[in-house]
Amino acid sequence: MSDNKLNAYNIFDLREQALSRVPKGLFEFCDRGTEDEVSLRNNRSVFDRIRFKPRTLVDVSKRNLETTIFGVKHKMPMVIAPTGTAGLLWYEGEIALAKAARDAGIPFTLATGSMTAMERVADEAGGELWFQLYMWPDRSLSQKLVERAKAAGYKALVVTVDGVHAGNREYNIRNGFTIPFTFTAKNVADVLLHPRWMFGVLARYIFTTGMPRYQNYPTDVRARITAGPMGRSSLRTDSLSWEDLKAMRKVWPHKLIVKGMLHPADAAKAVDCGADAVVVSNHGGRNLDGIISPIEVLPEIADAIGKRATILVDSGFRRGSDVVKALALGAHAVQIGRPTLYGIAAHGEAGAARALEIYREEIGRVMALLGVNTIGELGPEYLHFVDNALRPQSQVRANLKVVEGARAAGEN
Ligand SMILES: Cc1cc2nc3c(=O)[nH]c(=O)nc-3n(C[C@H](O)[C@H](O)[C@H](O)COP(=O)(O)O)c2cc1C
């Protein structure tokens, strides 16, 4: 364990620290799921049904976590997922997150709904930057945004397709934490009880640039978080279709990633439409309750597109061991959303850096104990499946062949 000045030994410690620092309404806005939170819980518990089957007496003294995504070498197989709220948890938190990603040698994805302008993130942090897009009902606004991301040097465009309707998050209404944000007795009291956040984040914005704004919205619709009609909901469209993806492919010259897929047929279609990668994701259990967890469908998607596209996965990864399981099931890299937000909320850039360091240490340790030196060596043969539902189909098929062969030979 490296020098841990922040007293955070795992991601759950950072979560606790974030909880004590930011207003409860804001914390829950970031941390919780939707409706009865079945998806949120399953995103974690699903990992318990996959166990490791290690090899021994392997020299693992030359372990290396490097991985190549889109031809670019990264220091570990992870990506920071788009989350619109880093700039609310910490003053200009997006810049802090991007710097932490740069220093850890992994990509950072800036969300459409961020508080900091994409050009400033590029100028002040640099590194491998991706831009996430929610499609507006008026497609020309989205095109403008994509042009801006291109000019600012973003290397990949992440089109999110699982947010055509906001999830049902009742706690936000109960906490008085809705967007557009309005002041209520409850949320004002919540803010007053968290003076470090009030002075360090909110007041700092108010005394410099005013109430936080969606700096990446096109100028005609740019709004403060307190603004009404052109607030966040206007940035989603429920008419999103494959034609939009094809149109986006025509205008975006770099890598195109489709985020929020859980069906192998959709993943294959996205690649047919020109996507370079898909993110197998249930949006961290925030949109549809009772939805399948990405890890449950990952092997099928890997079977469907693994040879012709990059596969990223997210939702619920809190331990290096979770990451290793996904890599063994066919993912090329794992994205995290909340874990680096906890880090940012608690300690700014240092907290996000600590979150990434925790994953690095945990992944390296698991690889050593599995008898693996490189990410490329990982495969389902290092896993044991407690039930058949999670077993990769290709392996089930291989097993069936063995049984059929044995029957044919009269051994059964
Ligand atoms: C507070 C918050 C805001 C998010 N905002 C966005 C967003 O603007 N665009 C998007 O594509 N995904 C968004 N996501 C989803 C993440 O990109 C990612 O899919 C999810 O957080 C992964 O799950 P994890 O938080 O368990 O790691 C958000 C997630 C959180 C927690």
Q: Return the pLDDT at 412.
A: 32
Using a 6 Å cutoff on CB, does residue 215 contact ligand 1? Answer: no
The whole-angstrom separation of Cα 14 and Cα 353 is 11
Residue count of the chain, please give it. Answer: 412
Q: How many helices (H) and strands (E) does the chain have?
A: 18, 12
Ranges of the chain whose pLDDT falls below 50: 1, 228-233, 399, 401, 404-412
> Which residue(s) pair with 129 in the sheet?
108
pLDDT computed for residue 183 by the predictor: 82
Collapse the DSSP code of 69 into the 3-class scheme (helix H, G, I; strand E, B; otherwise coil) and give the result: strand
Rg (CA), the chain: 22
Residue 275, pLDDT score: 98
Q: Is the pTM of this model over 0.85?
A: yes
Question: Taking a C-beta distance cutoff of 8 angstroms, is the pair 22, 187 a contact?
Answer: no
Residue nearest to atom 19 of ligand 1 (CA): 283
pLDDT of residue 32: 98
Pocket-testing residue among 83, 134, 314, 342, ligand 1, by greatest number of atoms within 8 A of Cβ: 83
Give yes or no for residue 380 CB within 6 A of ligand 1: no
User: Which ligand 1 atom is nearest residue 284's CA?
Assistant: 23
* Ligand 1 mutation pick, 114, 130, 283, max ligand atoms within 8 A of CB: 283
Q: Is the Cα torsion angle 250, 255, 257, 263 positive or negative in sign?
A: positive
Q: Is 340 in the pocket of ligand 1 (CB under 6 A)?
A: no
Atom 4, ligand 1: residue with shortest CA distance: 83
Q: Cα of 256 to ligand 1 centre, how many Å?
A: 18
Q: What's the pLDDT score for residue 274?
A: 98
What's the DSSP call for residue 263?
A: -
pLDDT score, position 392: 75
Residue 229 has what pLDDT?
A: 40
Active site residues: 283
The residues, ordered by sequence, that sit 6+ positions from 366 with a Cβ below 8 Å of its Cβ are 52, 320, 321, 324
42 lines ligand 1 (CB under 6 A): no
Mutate to test the pocket of ligand 1, among 216, 286, 336, 341 (most ligand atoms within 8 A of CB): 286
d(CA 28, CA 175): 9
